[in-house]
Amino acid sequence: MAVPFIEIKNVFKIFTSHKQEFEVLKGINLDIEKGDIFGIVGFSGAGKSTLIRCINGLETISSGSIRVGKYQINKLAKKDVNIYRQKIGMVFQHFNLFDSRTVYGNVSFPLEIATKKKEEIHNRVLKILDLVGIVNKKDFYPGQLSGGQKQRVGIARALANHPSILLSDEATSALDPVTSMSVLDLLKDINKKLGLTIILITHSLDVVKYTCKNMAVLENGIIAEKGSVKKIFENPQSTTAKVFIKHNAHLSNPYLSGEEVC
Amino acid sequence: MLNFLAKLFRQETLDIILPATWQTLYMVLVATPITIFFGLLFGISLYITDKNGLYPIPIFNKTFGAVINAVLALPSMIVIILALPISKFIVGVSYGPKACIIALTIVCTPIFSRLVESSILEVSKGKIEAAKSMGASTCDIIFKVMLPEALPTLIRNFIVLTITLISITAIAGTFGAGGLGEVAVRFGYHRFKIDILLVAVLVLLVLVESLQFLGDRLSKRILKKRHLI
Ligand SMILES: Nc1ncnc2c1ncn2[C@@H]1O[C@H](COP(=O)(O)OP(=O)(O)OP(=O)(O)O)[C@@H](O)[C@H]1O
Ligand SMILES: [Mg+2]
């Protein structure tokens, strides 16, 4: 088998606060293929955000190794960290848009810091705003947008500088089901059109079922289960997955019924 | 009423007040940009060198913070007296407008540094993290995220600083730079010329109120433009 695009090997993350040590990730092993939409689910505090933040170096891992494409994250020189991050997009639950910039300015930000030429920035921003379907709002400030529109800007901003991966930490949790669906559709669309690898953290199995190809279940800093979404939904092994799926049965989302697992 | 005002603003009074107003404006106009420069520099340094900051240097942060607090804790009068020899070193005199401007700057820079620090602390961690996740350098984060995002609050604090400067010119003025505060003390307190005191206070009040008004307007305008209010 070819080497996977993202290779996470025996990753440990220990936080120290008030002289106390908290082991949040306890030996994570994951391989993620190029072009996958990979879901990570787990209860609150399982370590999902921490794991995804280790992938783009917002947290440094305590031991183990993470490789993304040709980059060995844990061995990256300080000056290369920013160059590496410029190629990884991240989308946040609370959008984290810059209120001081218009929609256009938010999306041009990653291109500005990558010191692209003005004209190139202009063309790229318009193209990406068009892709996420929000080009008519380009001169609006974030304060004038709905949650769904904000997240489209968040996604556009993450995509602007041609990233090879998109990390999404609960990108749809603050949105209503319909808006959430449309944002997920957008992610699927981008995945197909650009061949972008997406890692998607969520609390909602509906989201995973609707969007992802493969998934992992995180339980207290350990991967309890991983594999294709289909396999895990049909035959869940871990407690977390079982509980999630059981709860899911009566929380089923009307918009998702009849949807095929991808 | 008009009669009273005419009496209050008679020529002899104006002859004292107008030059004093100019002296105050001169001190404030020169001291403000210097204080803003160092206040921004120190405030940002305090923010980024914090142990959870963008460029942690805890030892520097603690020491520098302590120095700033020490200057803040001393009464302004004492800081001015201590600053005068420093003025002598920098501008060659320890008396008069130039020396007082330096003393003013030394009194007000720590205040403004802390105001800048608290303004940029208000920028949500999420925004900074978003910038980091896009590979922004510390410099980009400061100039493209922190400062623009904090701008409305910074403007308000900038007005607080200018008003503080005006009030401290009153103390510094007694060391030979003159100004409205010094006039108020000299005539109002030492010579019981209540009318001069009153006019000096009125002019100060107008200065402070109009600054506050301008600052509020500007800050609100930015917030409105960004649709945050
Ligand atoms: N900077 C930190 N210092 C100390 N502990 C931390 C820090 N960041 C996270 N933790 C701890 O790590 C654990 C996992 O946090 P994390 O945010 O990764 O969970 P999560 O799975 O994303 O949860 P949620 O679904 O609620 O977002 C938590 O117990 C949290 O308290
Ligand atoms: Mg989380």
pLDDT digits (tens, 9 = 90+) for A22-67: 999 999 999 999 999 999 999 899 999 999 999 999 999 999 999 9
Q: From the CA of A58, how far away is ligand 2's center (Å)?
A: 13
Q: Distances from the Cα of B89 to the Cαs of A130, B27, B77, B168, B189, in angstroms?
A: 62, 19, 19, 22, 33
d(C-alpha A171, C-alpha A60), whole Å: 23
Q: For every residue of chain B, which 3-state class applies, written as one string?
A: CHHHHHHHCCHHHHHHHHHHHHHHHHHHHHHHHHHHHHHHHHHHHHHHCCCCCCCCCHHHHHHHHHHHHHHHHCCHHHHHHHHHHHHHHHHCCCCCHHHHHHHHHHHHHHHHHHHHHHHHHCCCHHHHHHHHHCCCCHHHHHHHHHHHHHHHHHHHHHHHHHHHHHHHHHHHHHHCCCCHHHHHHHHHHHCCCHHHHHHHHHHHHHHHHHHHHHHHHHHHHHHHHCCCC
Residue A260 lies in a domain: no
Cβ-nearest to B135 among A92, A96, A113? A113
CB A26 within 8 A of CB A221: yes
Residues 6+ apart with CB under 8 A from B81: none
Sheet holding A63-68, edge to edge: A20-32, A6-17, A63-68, A71-72
Mean pLDDT of B5-9: 82
Q: Please provide the distance, in angstroms rounded to a whole number, between the alpha carbons at the two ends of chain B.
A: 41
d(C-alpha B87, C-alpha B109), whole Å: 15
- Tokens 């997009």 belong to residue: A89
- Fold that domain B2-225 belongs to in CATH: MetI-like fold (1.10.3720)
Which one of A11, A13, A24 would you pick to mutate in the ligand 1 pocket, going by the greatest count of ligand atoms within 8 A of its CB? A24
Q: What is the pTM of this model?
A: 0.90
Please tell me the total count of domains within chain A.
Answer: 1
Q: Across the interface, do A141 and B144 touch by the CB < 8 Å criterion? A: no
Nearest CA to ligand 1 atom 7: A15
Residues A71-100 pLDDT 10s: 999 888 888 999 999 999 999 999 999 999
Indicate the burial class of A35 (C-beta count within 10 angstroms; 0-12, 13-18, 19 or more): middle
Residue A210 has pLDDT above 70, yes or no: yes
- What pLDDT is stored for residue B194 in this prediction? 87
- What pLDDT is stored for residue A217 in this prediction? 93
DSSP A103: H
Nearest CA to ligand 1 atom 28: A45
Residue A181 lies in a domain: yes
Of A118, A158, A108, A86, nearest to B137 by C-alpha is A86
Residues A134-191 pLDDT 10s: 999 999 999 999 999 999 999 999 999 999 999 999 998 888 888 889 889 999 999 9
Q: Across the interface, do A114 and B144 touch by the CB < 8 Å criterion? A: no
Sheet holding A88-92, edge to edge: A88-92, A165-169, A197-202, A37-41, A214-219, A222-228
d(C-alpha B77, C-alpha B80), whole Å: 5
CB A255 within 8 A of CB A180: no
Q: Distances from the Cα of A206 to the Cαs of A43, A90, A209, B93, B123, in angstroms?
A: 15, 21, 5, 75, 34
Contacts of B131 in chain A (CB under 8 A): 109, 113
- What pLDDT is stored for residue B156 in this prediction? 95
d(C-alpha A139, C-alpha A15), whole Å: 42
Q: Across the interface, do A58 and B227 touch by the CB < 8 Å criterion? A: no
d(C-alpha B157, C-alpha B163), whole Å: 10
Strand, helix or coil at A18?
coil
Q: Distances from the Cα of B16 to the Cαs of A111, B131, B140, B203, in angstroms?
A: 58, 55, 50, 12
CA atoms within 13 A on the CB side of A85: 25
Mean pLDDT of B8-28: 89
d(C-alpha A48, C-alpha A46), whole Å: 6
Chain B contacts in chain A segment 3-62 (CB below 8 A)? 56, 58
Across the strands, what pairs with A25?
A: A13
CA atoms within 13 A on the CB side of A63: 6
CB A40 within 8 A of CB A201: yes
CATH of residue A173: 3.40.50.300
Please say whether the dihedral angle defined by the alpha carbons of residues B134, B140, B141 and B147, taken in this order, is positive or negative: negative
Residue B1 has pLDDT above 80, yes or no: no
Mean pLDDT of A239-259: 60
CB of A101 within 8 Å of a chain B CB? The answer is yes
Residues B123-173 pLDDT 10s: 999 999 999 999 999 999 999 999 999 999 999 999 999 999 998 988 777
Strand, helix or coil at A70?
coil
- Tokens 């030429």 belong to residue: A117
Tell me which residue range forms the domain holding A173.
33-59+75-252
Mean pLDDT of A239-246: 79
Of A187, A186, A209, nearest to A198 by C-alpha is A187
Mean pLDDT of A195-201: 94
- What pLDDT is stored for residue A261 in this prediction? 38
Give the tokens for residue B84: 């005068």
Residues B176-198 pLDDT 10s: 778 888 888 888 888 888 888 88
d(C-alpha B96, C-alpha B27), whole Å: 11
- What pLDDT is stored for residue A1 in this prediction? 56
